[in-house]
Amino acid sequence: MYLKSIHLRHWGCHDDLPIAFDEGLNICIGPNGVGKSTLYHAIVAALTVKHDATNQRVAAFRSWGRDGFGPTASLEIVRADGVWSLTKTYLHEPRCLLVGDPASKASLEAKGKVAEQHLEAWLASDGAAGRLLLTLWSDQNDPISVFRPIPGVKPLPAGSLLEKVLAKAARPEAAGPFAALKRAVAEQYGERFTPQKMAIKTGSDLD
């Protein structure tokens, strides 16, 4: 599973932001204050935060300077069974809509709680590839912090993908944490995906 595109509307500092992604590793670069963190957090939120949530975290999604509009994220997600469209709106007229491409095996339309249940099932069943989609975001000043144990969360199994990445990112010869993390992710990605079509390699631990 990978993210093909995202379109943010009335979300924090982004009033209308469409972004397309490649199948490989995508890096977002820009000066402070342009909304890079907002973009990353919106991706994670759309995948993990229920559309009808009303807590303080959701309140932070509210548009800057625009009232009466619910922050909305529209994602195109590619899975083995086809291309899916996920749209979530928070706070003002909240909704969740999950639609599969009728031209493929992904022929389904689900709304509200039913759509949320389908999304939860995806993230639970997609293995390491699905978990990486949610996990490869960390604090700008310490990009390997995401791999450290979290209190109350089951530790990583020995030899897992994230554990290997953490070990390589922590090497003393690395020229800064971002450089180390980039090399480590590239190495692990190369072991599991073909360079041309980015398909999962036969015999890899994702196969």
- Do residues 76 and 8 share a domain? yes
- Do residues 80 and 10 share a domain? yes
- Do residues 95 and 9 share a domain? yes
- pLDDT tens series, the chain, 207 aa: 788 999 999 999 999 999 998 877 777 877 888 888 888 889 888 988 888 888 777 888 888 877 888 999 999 988 887 888 999 999 999 999 999 876 766 667 888 999 998 888 877 666 544 444 445 544 555 555 545 555 555 554 545 555 565 565 555 555 555 566 667 777 777 777 777 666 778 887 766
Number of domains in the chain: 2
- Choosing from 126, 151, 167, the residue where a domain stops is 126
4's tokens: 């093909």
Which pTM was predicted? 0.62
